[in-house]
Structure 1
Amino acid sequence: MVGRRNRVFALVPLVALGMLTGSGGAQAPMVIAQRDIAFAPRSVTIKVGDQVIFRNEDPFGHNVYSPSMNGVFDIGLQDPDTETPVTFTAPGEFIIQCRIHPKMRAKVLVEP
């Protein structure tokens, strides 16, 4: 069974940047899996207010984050068999990376 973990980090800065974590969103969440030291899918398109769930399906930890302008977030170390939702509340293109595995990259395109 996949564990569910909601994280809240530095809430005030994330609100200022247009990012929040937690439940909500306009439609069913999109899932980006971490599998075989890669993100799958590597690119998703969502609407403002939608949620992306980052699910670790590898047998080791990952650290998912985005350094993108107006979308900085870092979910910290994500253990195997866990998932972490992130709600995107600002439009733009957000690069997603793993601090542990620098070659892991994905993109979330958030449309108005």
Structure 2
Amino acid sequence: AQADLANVVRVVLQKGRQYAPTDLFLRRGDTIVLVNGNDGAIHHAFIQADRFAFDAGDQEPGKQATLTLKEPGDFVIECGIHPKMKLTLHVQ
């Protein structure tokens, strides 16, 4: 017997100069929605990897960006405005 699991959408909050959660274990095809939960701070989420790049641009408070993961591996989402903000993605 074989069961195909549906793709998952995970919400990640950007608030207080950190991502919540800070680590995610996902499968190819899953989607992440990055939500800027700060009232007065702009965030700029990006990934720079060998196999692909992602850049959400400047996210004003309350705005969100979406990323669907198509490549397996470990990737780090960083914030171009707050360099210590990091989210590690583990994609199977």
TM-score, normalised to structure 2's length?
0.87
Among 85, 89, 101, the residue aligned to 2:66? 85
C-alpha distance in structure 2 between counterparts of 1:39 and 1:85, whole Å: 15
Deviation of the 1:32 alpha carbon: 1.3
> Does structure 2 retain, via aligned residues, the 8 Å contact 1:71–1:94?
no
CA RMSD of aligned residues (A): 1.0
C-alpha distance in structure 2 between counterparts of 1:33 and 1:91, whole Å: 23
C-alpha distance in structure 1 between counterparts of 2:85 and 2:52, whole Å: 18
Q: Mark the runs of 5 or more structure 1 residues left unpaired by the alignment.
A: 1-25
Seq. identity, % = 30
The structure in which a higher percent of residues are helix is 1
* Alignment deviations for residues 55-98 of structure 1 (CA, whole Å, 9 cap, x no partner): 11012110000112213110100111111110001101111100
- 4+ long deviations beyond 2 Å: none
Q: Mark the runs of 5 or more structure 2 residues left unpaired by the alignment.
A: 1-5
TM-score, normalised to structure 1's length?
0.73
C-alpha distance in structure 1 between counterparts of 2:80 and 2:16, whole Å: 15
The number of equivalent residue pairs is 86
